[in-house]
């Protein structure tokens, strides 16, 4: 059995942008996810977004993978059951923020626990000064979450669930760096930002989901000797 957890970001990591705003996971990546999990590996899609942000991928992953939504505040298990990891104090804080936004006439949408706003609506509100929240910016959108909940929170949740497993994080953007810091092995896909590549242990040869497929293939072949394999695998550039 493969005692490895691979946690992958969604946009520009597992899924590539095939046209503006349209993302697709390569078939080869989905096939590798199925093979990896059939051998006992654990695959986790880790996103700061909510279920609607990943489209029909949820149904494709049903039965084989975990989906960590809203930076792990919500964990959807392969059987579809949902674990809510939001702290008890978050509900009244969230309600206060929602009431304030409604009163000010500022548009927002709700995830399971996170609040999503347009970035240009956030300036001047001072939410982080007045509430115990973290604002996560991602391409014109802002998610409002409990303070301390970033993508590293996903890895901490997974470490509590899968004791003794090697945890590999795969990403492309700045909000993946907290996941990198908490993981045992950090991998940037070939199209990742330079600052992200600089913080990774390895960089894949291929972009987006094809890079994730390379990671899964190496995990299948090497098991717990994964780091040693990555050091000698020509498909990966060693950074640290």
Residues with active-site annotation:
9
DSSP 231: H
Phi, psi of 104 (to 5 degrees): -85, -5
* Helices 27-38 + 208-222 axis angle, to 10: 20
Q: Are 143 and 136 in contact (CB under 8 A)?
A: yes
User: CB atoms < 10 A from the CB of 51, how many?
Assistant: 17
> In whole angstroms, how large is the CA radius of gyration of the chain?
18
Q: Give the angle subtended at the CA of 128 by the CAs of 144 and 49, to the nearest 5°.
A: 15
């Amino acid at each position: 059995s493969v005692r490895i957890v691979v946690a992958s970001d969604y946009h520009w990591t597992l899924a590539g942008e095939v046209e503006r705003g349209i993302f697709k996971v390569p078939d080869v990546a989905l096939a590798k996810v199925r093979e990896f999990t059939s051998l006992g590996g654990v695959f986790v899609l880790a996103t700061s977004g909510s279920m609607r942000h990943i489209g029909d991928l949820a149904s494709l992953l049903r039965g084989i993978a975990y989906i960590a939504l809203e930076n792990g505040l919500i964990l959807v298990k392969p059987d579809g059951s949902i674990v809510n990891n939001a702290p008890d104090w978050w509900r009244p804080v969230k309600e206060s923020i929602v009431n304030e936004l409604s009163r000010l006439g500022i548009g927002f949408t709700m995830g399971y626990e996170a609040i999503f706003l347009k970035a240009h609506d956030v300036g001047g509100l001072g939410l982080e000064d007045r509430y115990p929240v973290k604002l996560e910016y991602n391409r014109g959108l802002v998610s409002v979450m409990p303070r301390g909940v970033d993508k590293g929170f996903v890895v901490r949740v997974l470490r509590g669930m899968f004791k003794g497993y090697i945890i590999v994080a795969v990403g492309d953007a700045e909000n993946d760096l907290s996941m990198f810091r908490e993981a045992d092995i950090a991998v940037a896909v070939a199209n990742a930002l330079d600052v992200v590549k600089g913080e990774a242990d390895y960089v894949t040869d291929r972009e987006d989901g094809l890079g994730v497929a390379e990671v899964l293939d190496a995990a299948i072949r090497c098991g717990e000797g994964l780091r040693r394999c990555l050091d000698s695998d020509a498909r990966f550039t060693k950074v640290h």
